[in-house]
Amino acid sequence: MPDPTLSIPVPSEDPKLKKKEESESNDAKQKQKGEKEQEDLSEEDLQLKNELEMLVERLRESDIDLYRPALETLRTLIRTSTSSMTSVPKPLKFLHPHYPELQQLYETWPKSDDKSLFADILSVLAMTYSDTQPRGTLRYRLLAAQLLPEGSASLSEPGSWGHEYVRHLAAELSEEYTFREQEEQLEMKTTVGSIDDLKLLATQCAAFLLGHNAEPDAVDLLQELEIADTLVDLVDENTYARVCLYIIRCVNFLPPPDDVSFLETAHNIYVKHQRWPEAIALAIRLGRPALIREDFGSPGNPIMKRQLALILARAQTPLEWLQVPNEDSDTTEELPEDVVECLSNSKLSTQFKEFGKELGVLEPKSLEDVYKSHLENSRATSNIDSARGNLASTFVNAFVNAGFGNDKLMVQAEEGNSWIYKNKDHGMMSAAASLGLSLLWDTDVGLTHVDKYTYSSEEHIKAGALLATGILNTNVRTEADAALALLSDYIENKSVSLRTSAITGLGLAYAGSHREDLMGLLLPVVADDSLSMEIISLAALSLGFIFVGSGNGEVASTILQVMMERDDKALDEKWGRFLSLGLALLYLGQPETSDATIITLKAIEHPIAKQADVLVNMCSAAGTGDVLKVQKLLHHCEDHYEKKESEKESDEDKKDEKDVDDTFQGFAVIGIALIAMGEDIGAEMSLRQFNHLMHYGEPTIRKAVPLALGLISVSNPQLNIMDTLSKYSHDNDLAVALNAIFAMGLIGAGTNNARLAQMLRQLAGYYYKEPDCLFMVRIAQGLVHMGKGTLTLYPYFFDRTIMSRTAVAGLLATLITFTDAKSFVLDKYHWMLYYLVPAMYPRFMITLDEDLKNLPVTVRVGQAVEVVGQAGKPRTISGFQTHTSPVRLGTTERAELATEEYIPYAHVLEGCVILKKNPGYEDKMDI
């Protein structure tokens, strides 16, 4: 039998003590705590505590003469106290209980010098009460300044109270400034100090922070108070470099117009300290001709001028921007011949070939070297369209041997046995044009090779030769202006293919030149109502290339006029997208000038206006990382334009409506990538959006997602993007798969990436029965091995800070073509792949002596490391290898000189860098 159990009730809370007992226990606890504290204090601390209490007592007395000495002693004790990172300074700790009492005492004092000092001391003590009395430190600091009688000595600098005080004050200043701005909006009255007082105090704090290696804090404070431009006078030769580096990195995270004003501030600092390469780089980013001209004309050193000219040549800056007008006459001052040579990139071909020779890639690559078909699945060879295969080989050969001018299919082919004749009809045009890509930048030799085909009786070959003339002059300027002389004759030709080739050739050859004479040539073509949309749209696109980022009103108004006046049937054609793109390219990187055009587009009823609106918006914000613009583009993508009210209409009407409605959504997807590609965080965030769009988007959107992925990581094969595209390349929708394959070529362009090459070989086996997909796999293989690994399509340069507008224009034109690949690239307009040419540039770093001759030096090449805000002089690269220049630089790599024997004129070692001998260098081996 179990034992009997007894239940005992247990309360959930302790029984409450009687009030008397409770108060007694509290008193006892306080007493114990006080005694324990007294025991814990050392003799020295106890003495300090007693002294501080005595000084507080003095301030309570009626004898006014005692106030000043007591306050002076208090100030000295607080200032001389030291503290560790984890503890509060002793005087502040001991004075903390007396703070409310001192506040009351302060209110009773009359206005005087002593009261000002008292307020200054209370300002420091207020740091210990910041949680209960916000902005107390700032309030008393401003009161201390106000209470100073006229003619007396100014208030001590905030820095005299120590670093922590200044940081506290800086935090409260930004809070107070925001609060005051809200008050202004609500028309409320503030109590202490004006906005100007806050700005003055902020400037004092910033000066202290700059002098104590806290440059980011100083910049942030001045930015909060909207006086960042005062930095120009605050920085000195020791701090300007770190300040500017931080400012430039902040630009990506600032909303307009703060981003532009920040760049202007950094530019002014560089100019003040005569750092011309850095200054001109920012002037190019701002896209201001007057600034570029001023910076270019400032240095007196002719060698520095040459270096600046090389930087401007890389950015494709129009020569007209640099010519200083004569005050006496209408003419302009001629630039020195050596500077013009640097500006026109005339030695680019020679330098590129020498670079190839150094790397051992001068020998031409055959198609088999690229395809490696012995590694493919053996069945891939059967059932292939030979004409389509030959066409693919044309492009692969051109891309792989681009710039070297020695490929075996075209340049070195025997007379009458040229690869051109192994193609059919329009294939001949692309084959003849590929000659221009093989001889890229080599204007002298190139023209002699191309010239013989301009006399061909076959129209397609002749058209290809005209396009080749434009291609080989891309990114290079010559005095002879051969491209203009040869192509201008065909602008009025009756043959459509000759006419379009000449127009496109001019657009490529003079991309970014802003030449007025070309406008006079092409604008009448755009305005001519009798011409087909194909000719008008390609002429508009060429004008977009030539005047890229110029905001040219004349070109814009003519294109808008065409959109308003042409009938709906013409605007419905597939060519309409290039008309819109031509307009949008005028505003590339120019957000402030595009507003009027966007408003005008809203007045046009035809759906082409919607496409143009999206394109203009995305181009104007290209590379800015503007979050609001990205959100706006995402809104365009959320609508589903399928079978709504149109069900009752005929099939044809439905089809038309769907085509019109969808197109702008595809552009919006590419636009997200275009805006986000300027900075890494935005680019990473956009990948998630693309994933969602791929899952929930309409076919047009899904088709554009791979293109956007290709743009956001062009010539930079990141593993996650590579795997995503590999997945999309097996999509059920062949249009998506096709674009994914092309995007794989884009992300690996010019990298020789082995993993990508293997993926593409597998795809060649997988799509052996799909001629279109197989054709695209071959194109992608050609892109991955572009220039035998020496070229890049990446549109940023100068340590990934400056966006090349011509390169972005080329990439955009190609991607817009792929939004309807079936109608263009897979039809007879495959030559549109050559729109990539303006984006092609050597990925080299060549060191030159002061006479612009090659100067081999030892350099380290490694992965670029972010060093903004880091203390000391941290290494800017990691995992480096040491080479002798010239060297090849990857998209995310950076180079630095291994020794101090030479000093570079440019601060970024990229492209062509001029070096000068370091006069103070002594070789350790000689000592």
Region for residue 896 given its phi and psi (left: phi exceeds 0; alpha: psi -120 to 50; beta: otherwise): beta
- Which residues are 325's β-sheet partners? 332
CA 549 to chain centre: 15
Q: How far apart are CA 800 and CA 678, in angstroms?
A: 9
Q: How far apart are CA 568 and CA 663, in angstroms?
A: 16
CA-based R_g, the chain, Å: 35
Beta-carbon count within 10 A of 646 CB: 16
For 664-696, b where at least 16 C-beta lie within 10 A, e where not — what string? bbbbbbbbbbbbbbbbeebbeebbebbeebbee
Region for residue 108 given its phi and psi (left: phi exceeds 0; alpha: psi -120 to 50; beta: otherwise): alpha
CB 731 within 8 Å of CB 770: no
**What token pair was written down for 594?**
């595009």
In the chain, the amino acid numbered 534 is E
Nearest CA to 74 out of 3, 139, 124 is that of: 124
Which pLDDT score, from 0 to 100, does residue 696 have?
Answer: 87
Q: How far apart are CA 303 and CA 291, in angstroms?
A: 20
Question: Whole-angstrom distance between the N-terminal and C-terminal Cα of the chain?
Answer: 104
Q: Within the chain, which residues score under 70 in pLDDT?
A: 1-39, 82-88, 150-153, 184-191, 325-332, 375-385, 414-417, 641-661, 923-927
Q: What string of H, E and C letters represents the secondary structure of 688-750?
A: HHHHHHHHHCCHHHHHHHHHHHHHHCCCCCCHHHHHHHHHHCCCCCHHHHHHHHHHHHHHCCC
737, burial (CB in 10 Å: exposed 0-12, middle 13-18, buried 19+): buried
Q: How far apart are CA 49 and CA 90, in angstroms?
A: 8
Instruction: State how far the alpha carbon of 202 is from the alpha carbons of 102, 133, 223, in Å.
Output: 27, 21, 10
Q: Which residue has the tokens 């350099």?
A: 859
Nearest CA to 381 out of 368, 396, 362, 395 is that of: 368
What φ, ψ does residue 881 adopt, rounded to 5°? -120, 150
Nearest CA to 719 out of 694, 750, 687 is that of: 687
Which pLDDT score, from 0 to 100, does residue 643 have?
Answer: 46
Beta-carbon count within 10 A of 233 CB: 12
**Which DSSP letter does residue 847 get?**
E
Which pLDDT score, from 0 to 100, does residue 652 have?
Answer: 44
Q: How far apart are CA 758 and CA 192, in angstroms?
A: 70
Instruction: State how far the alpha carbon of 581 is from the alpha carbons of 235, 678, 812, in Å.
Output: 44, 20, 8
Q: How far apart are CA 545 and CA 548, in angstroms?
A: 5
Nearest CA to 45 out of 81, 73, 72, 74 is that of: 81
910: helix, strand or coil: coil
Instruction: State how far the alpha carbon of 576 is from the alpha carbons of 180, 540, 607, 612, 919, in Å.
Output: 51, 10, 10, 9, 61
Q: How far apart are CA 432 and CA 611, in angstroms?
A: 33
**What token pair was written down for 369?**
């070297």
For 559-580, b where at least 16 C-beta lie within 10 A, e where not — what string? bbebbeebeeebbbbbbbbbbb
Q: Which residue stretches of 553-607 are H helix? A: 553-565, 568-572, 576-585, 595-602
Residues 6+ apart with CB under 8 A from 689: 630, 634, 672
Residues 6+ apart with CB under 8 A from 432: 420, 453, 456, 460, 461, 462, 463, 464, 465, 467, 468
In the chain, the amino acid numbered 824 is F
**Which DSSP letter does residue 846 get?**
E
Q: How far apart are CA 21 and CA 830, in angstroms?
A: 95
CA 682 to chain centre: 10
Which pLDDT score, from 0 to 100, does residue 152 have?
Answer: 63
CB 445 within 8 Å of CB 472: no
Nearest CA to 921 out of 899, 890, 905 is that of: 899
For 261-282, b where at least 16 C-beta lie within 10 A, e where not — what string? bbbbbbbbbbbebebbbbbbbb
Instruction: State how far the alpha carbon of 316 is from the alpha carbons of 158, 477, 514, in Å.
Output: 49, 10, 10
**What token pair was written down for 379?**
């069945």
413, burial (CB in 10 Å: exposed 0-12, middle 13-18, buried 19+): middle
Instruction: State how far the alpha carbon of 775 is from the alpha carbons of 393, 725, 739, 781, in Å.
Output: 9, 17, 12, 10
